Amino acid sequence: MIKLRLKRFGKKREVSYRIVVINSEARRDGRPLEEVGFYNPRTDETRLDVPAITRRLEQGAEPTKTVRHILEKANLLERHKVAAKVEPKVEAKAEA
């Protein structure tokens, strides 16, 4: 499975992350298929390659929880997905 997740880099105690497309079985800092963004948690700076991210999401890539939050802040994902409509339950009194 292909995932959108964070890849750590930077100096000790001055960490930054790259948002990468990577196989879910690969190591955290393994070789990515593609780098699609940057995130600095200290300054809350984000840089996103929007066409590449949307292409990968359409291909079925799953973002991790943190990456999903970053994408929602950038309005790349729907904040509230509409759940499938549930059929109303048939009451037992109608049968009796």
Return the pLDDT at 5.
93
Are 61 and 72 in contact by the 8 Å Cβ rule? The answer is no
Count the domains in the chain. Answer: 1
Are 18 and 35 in contact by the 8 Å Cβ rule? The answer is yes
67 CB-contact burial (10 Å; exposed 0-12 / middle 13-18 / buried 19+): buried
Return the pLDDT at 28.
76
Percent of the chain with pLDDT over 90: 49
- In a domain, residue 87? The reply is no
- In a domain, residue 24? The reply is yes
Question: pTM of the full predicted structure?
Answer: 0.74
- In a domain, residue 66? The reply is yes
Q: Domain holding 49: CATH number?
A: 3.30.1320.10
Are 4 and 36 in contact by the 8 Å Cβ rule? The answer is yes
Encode pLDDT of 6-34 as tens digits: 999 999 989 999 999 999 888 877 888 99
Reported as a pLDDT band with limits 50, 70 and 90, residue 51 is very high
Reported as a pLDDT band with limits 50, 70 and 90, residue 77 is confident
